[in-house]
Structure 1
């Protein structure tokens, strides 16, 4: 056993020396390291700036909301409020869909607005084809570097004739394959070092959850190990190095570039999601059918008024101990919020079905599984965006209903229906409203979204390892 390990290490050491003597390989590794450092520093700086900017704006709009003068509560309903989505620290590693979904919600009565001001929509068109982030470098560029400098690992021995010499000297074919794999995996490990160091720093300083950083590290280690296996496997199957290079480049182009862009288009065609304008038209149509909550005499609220009069045992709304107009506003807001929730849930359900189709293709395209794992661990996937919009909507509903309740309790109905009469209440009422606080997903929820993608990557890793092990034993016959 010791002799076998010594042979494997010796073969790995010789392959490693060959890689380090290759100036192109050293230059490529250096260039990738520089790109990783630039991407990491740039992403961290952008995130730091964006987080500080959002916190500053959130504080400003909170102060403006509380600084409103004495006025009617319903005017405050229409004044509205902005809420900003806080950035997950790991979003610097993989921004995911954050740049496309928007990060700001404007909250107001009778409406559920969508998130706006996505970074991609406000920057150059080039950003839409992939920003330079650590995730992009490891997903796209690192495998390409492994292909260029590892494709001839075994084929080179065959072409030069040294493979037959090694086999004739009693070196097992699997030992040769394991040695080549060990060297190429070490080369991949050097590519990962800057990213792993950055993740470790984020976790050590408490800026990011350690489990999220660990899942990202494990996912990308498995990704590059799988590519190392694939490169060695193709190299031992091809008679010449250039043949292995052509095959691996074709695989890289299809698996990393083509299919990850084609599969989402296929899912979008299979499950259509209405556009924002189509949804707005449908919401407005159904909203008008609910009745006008600003008009207490609207026929749509006849049954509501009858039930209310019966509850209080009075014959006229003027005899109610509370403001009937405010109660109509609360009822209208309740009904409209339920309507908005139905449309939002339908949209997210369609998007979830699209993601299910993409997840199905992940068994054939491991890049999709890696992307799902990376975004889920970084807190930049659809599930986290939905969490933000739903929390924002709950805050909006509670804020509006709190203001409507002030109208019910603090403003008299007769004064509210007198033309030209101003019914102001003290601004102190809304100055005590709590500020919006976004709650991150529980750790168990993050793990639940990461595990399926991780299982797919693990299945690919095990399959490639088993195939390399089995075919490695036939290297002598292939030679």
Structure 2
């Protein structure tokens, strides 16, 4: 048996004799297992509820009686955001964003019913998910278990004896690292089983599940390296413990919360009230389709009459009111799209600024990678809103087109004759969300994986240097 393995085995023996360490490890494994089961059950129940509600509102829309198409425009429709399979592992920003969107003509509504808005403020401190357990709690336990791994040998004087017997410092450090890495692998076990179950149940998510597993393995390996590094540099175990607790507090707790605040202060977003006022002002500038003297729609009417070669809207082969509705919807939708792009561009700029802090706190890179793979980050949420808006626009324009083609100018003024068959809107409101392909998601999270790899290389190099320094410290 090699010296490295003997040292690792002896370290594991000492850990087993430490009742506090074993109790903490058992509690973490239990917590990770409970988190995996509860998160999976909550995700399954939420997805079933959304599918049931979606089927219900689809049926209610199709069951509407014969009526005027524009009434269906204002009747509107609900769409519910589907949950990604990996959302059970990392909820990301989903609890803070809405999942229900009301689609109607002339308006672009916000998603509603986010979990945080409907729950106590305690939810803001973090949900019990496998991602939370591994990101926050597992590193803390590694600190308590491994902080004295090397410092203990130096403090007791055993280090000099081992070096005198021919043990190289690199072997000692490698053995301690192997022992702590074994503990980290055990911590990862419940999450690994959960990810494997998700991949088996949803084969399309298998590449993303593997990426998440590798990312968290790198995260725990990073902490194993860091703990052994600090322990090798410290003269006393208590010094190593205090230093590592300070690193955990700043890197895992403080910076991930401070970075968004700094990004928000540097690139503030307009408030909801400010946005609503700006949109209302721009809508008024676009023109009022109900005002025949409005410059834009007066010009639009002349263009339509010239296109069909007639002098009066009554002589058009199509219903002019439907054409006006289509033009008005085109203008307002373009305005809503512009404001939406500007808002998400500002938020993306904030995220890019937050990502810069990953050079100081790798958990920021880990969270972005984890949320991206789980489909619970900002780009995934934006994808849902964009597709819902495209669906809303297509649905409203289809109803406006029915008004233009199925009703004449004369019948549109008679309430009894201005109805069309309900068969025209059967299936019109059905919404099918298309998630981002796995290959595109993997490509998007590669930079964050690069940050974790850079941290691993840097800590590995620092540990090699500390091992060499350890040799000089024993002379």
Deviations 1:209-232 (A, max 9, x none): 111100100000000000000000
Contact persistence 1:88–1:208 (CA under 8 A): no
- Give me the CA root mean square deviation: 1.2
Partner Cα distance (1:318, 1:434) in 2: 31
- Partners of 2:357 and 2:60 lie apart in 1 by 49
The 5 Å alignment of 1:188-203 reads 188-203=184-199
Q: 1:414, 1:96 → 2: CA distance?
A: 54
**Structure 2 contact 58–429 (Cα < 8 Å) conserved:** no
Q: Secondary structure at the match of 1:13?
A: helix
CA distance in 1, matches of 2:277, 2:92: 29
Q: 1:317 aligns with which of 300, 303, 313?
A: 313
TM-score by length of 2: 0.98
Counterpart of 1:268?
264
1:462 matched residue in structure 2? 457
Q: Does 1:162 align with 2:162?
A: no
Q: Is it true that 1:182 corresponds to 2:159 in the alignment? A: no
Give the conservation status (yes or no) of the 8 Å contact 1:90–1:208: no
The Cα shift of 1:294 comes to 4.3
Return the offset for 1:253: 0.0
1:288 pairs, out of 284, 290, 310, with 284
Task: Indicate whether 1:54 and 2:47 are aligned.
Answer: no
SS of aligned partner of 2:410: helix
Tell whether 2:37 aligns with 1:41: yes
CA displacement 1:385-409 (0-9 Å, x = unmatched): 0000000000000000000000000
| CA deviations over 1:338-389 (Å, ceiling 9, x no partner) | 0000000000000010011011121221110001010001110001000000
Please say which of residues 318-327 and 297-306 is displaced more in the overlay. Answer: 297-306
Work out the CA distance in 2 between the residues paired with 1:376 and 1:75: 40
Greater shift, 301-310 or 341-350, is seen at 301-310
Pairing 1:371–2:367 present: yes
- What is the match of residue 338 of structure 2? 342
Q: Which residue of 1 aligns with 2:423?
A: 428
- Report 1:73-152 matches (<5 A): 73-152=69-148
C-alpha displacement at 1:300, in angstroms? 2.9
2:400 corresponds, among 400, 404, 410, to 404
Greater mean alpha carbon deviation, residues 351-360 or residues 271-280? 271-280
How far apart are residue 298 of structure 1 and its match?
A: 3.9
In 1, the alpha carbon distance for the partners of 2:45 and 2:154 equals 54
The answer as to whether partners of 1:54 and 1:86 remain within 8 angstroms in 2 is yes
Task: Give the corresponding residue for 2:448.
Answer: 453
Q: Cα 1:296–1:109, aligned 2, differ >3 Å: closer, same or farther?
A: farther
Q: How far apart are 1:296 and its partner, in Å?
A: 5.4
- Structure 1's unaligned 5+ residue stretches are none
Q: How many residues align?
A: 474
Q: Which moved more, 1:115-124 or 1:206-215?
A: 206-215
Q: What is the CA-CA distance between 1:414 and the residue it aligns to?
A: 2.0
Could you list the per-position Cα deviations for residues 291-329 of structure 1 after superposition, in whole angstroms to 9, with x for gaps in the alignment? 223455644301111111111111111111000011000
What secondary structure does 1:473 align onto?
Answer: helix
**Whole-angstrom CA distance in 2 between matches of 1:41 and 1:279:** 41
Offset of residue 161 of structure 1: 1.0
Give, in angstroms, the shift of residue 439 of structure 1.
0.3
What residue number does 1:213 align with? Answer: 209
Structure 1 residue 236 corresponds to structure 2 residue 232: yes
Measure, in 2, the Cα distance between the counterparts of 1:207 and 1:297. 59
The answer to whether the 8 A contact 2:204-2:438 is kept is no
Summarize deviations over 1:129-170 as a string: whole Å, max 9, x none: 111111000000000000011000000001111100000000
SS in 2 for 1:412: coil
Of 397, 419, 434, which residue of structure 2 is paired with 1:439? 434
The answer as to whether partners of 2:358 and 2:364 remain within 8 angstroms in 1 is: yes
Scaled by the length of structure 1, the TM-score of the pair is 0.97
Kindly provide the CA deviation profile for residues 178-210 of structure 1, in whole angstroms up to 9, marking residues without a partner as x: 000000000111000010011011112226611
CA contact (8 A) 1:89 1:208 kept: no
Find the aligned partners of 2:242 and 2:90 in 1 and give their Cα distance.
Answer: 30
Partner of residue 467, structure 2: 472
Tell me if structure 2 keeps the 8 A contact 1:369–1:454. Answer: yes
- Return 23-32 or 203-212, whichever deviates more: 203-212
2:66–2:421 contact (8 Å) kept in structure 1: yes
- Greater shift, 443-452 or 378-387, is seen at 443-452
Inter-partner Cα distance in structure 2 for 1:329 and 1:154? 75
Query: Relative to 1, partners in 2 of residues 1:51 and 1:65: Cα closer, same or farther, differing over 3 Å?
Result: same
